[in-house]
Amino acid sequence: MDLYPSGGYLLEIKSHSLFSKWFSESGKLISKLFQRIREMVEDEPDALFVILMDEVESLASSRVASGGGGDPSDAVRAVNSLLTSLDSIRRFGNVLVVSTSNITGMVDGAFVDRVDWMVKIDLPCLEARYEILRGCLGELERVGILDLGAGAGGDVGEGEGDGVVNDGKIQSFDLVVHNAKQNEGATATGAGAGTGAVGDVQVGTTNYTYHTHSEKLLECAKLAEGLSGRALRKLPFQSHAFHINCSPTGNVSMADFLIALKAGVERKVKGEI
């Protein structure tokens, strides 16, 4: 905040709104937009302006692919206007332009040359897949679709480690992996000792309460390798729709839902849903 005492602004450019059916009008709309941005930046030099251009390939599509020849097409004029506009704001030290694209091969080479830092974001790793699914299950519980049920056992919550039951909550990724690594050599006691259900695991002088719900969710996350974040977020709802026969009350136990989720993941990986 010392650099920008006036705070910051996030300006999101909606690419589709900058295209017009009238020839050459798209380029003019882009120029007017960036002129307005320059005026805002000049009015507040102590504020940070972040310009977000999502799906930038629609604004900065390759001019080679657009076909060149005599008179440039409207799309080419729009790209030229965008490049000129970007050059006009480079002199401002309080402007950061962020663009995203999942079709990088369609982005114009001149636009790519102007990019100072390119970051490739891969598909979600195992930890990310687990936490995405865990978050979706938490939302289903919040709205009453999932019923953990009293006395169903529980997991240790984050930062806990004395056998504290957390109402059946799914463990965080770090904790479930830690417990899984320790379970083989640990001494298991309690209601689920030797059954693979619920119990207490002693690691050194610390007791951990564990639950196979977390381990089953981790198994689903492993099976979901190669799926995008959007696909993962839809999976719990698709699994509920295709693999759950709702009870009269409408809610489902966590154990039953995790079985359905595994079936949903397997079908999604096969391309069946």
Among 113, 140, 161, where does a domain finish? 113
- In the three-class reduction of DSSP (H, G, I as helix; E, B as strand; rest coil), residue 49 is classed as strand
Is 98 within the bounds of a domain?
yes
What local confidence, expressed as pLDDT, does residue 52 receive?
95
Helix axes 229-243, 126-142, angle to 10 degrees: 50
Single out the residue of 10, 17, 4 nearest to residue 37, CA to CA. 10
109 with 133, same domain? no
pLDDT tens profile 97-151: 999 988 888 899 999 999 999 998 889 999 999 999 999 988 888 888 887 653 3
Task: Tell me how far apart the alpha carbons of residues 147 and 258 are, in angstroms, rounded to a whole number.
Answer: 12
Among 82, 113, 144, where does a domain finish? 113
Is 138 within the bounds of a domain?
yes
103 with 130, same domain? no
109 with 179, same domain? no
Is 57 within the bounds of a domain?
yes
End-to-end Cα spacing for the chain = 47
- The structural domain count of the chain equals 2
33 with 143, same domain? no
What local confidence, expressed as pLDDT, does residue 3 receive?
83
> Which pTM was predicted?
0.65
Is 2 within the bounds of a domain?
no
95 with 151, same domain? no
pLDDT < 50 positions in the chain: 68-71, 150-167, 186-210
Residue with tokens 């798209």: 26
Is 120 within the bounds of a domain?
no
95 with 196, same domain? no
- In the three-class reduction of DSSP (H, G, I as helix; E, B as strand; rest coil), residue 187 is classed as strand
What local confidence, expressed as pLDDT, does residue 153 receive?
37
Among 53, 78, 113, where does a domain finish? 113
Residue with tokens 């940070």: 48
What local confidence, expressed as pLDDT, does residue 176 receive?
73
What local confidence, expressed as pLDDT, does residue 215 receive?
84
Domain interval for residue 246: 126-270
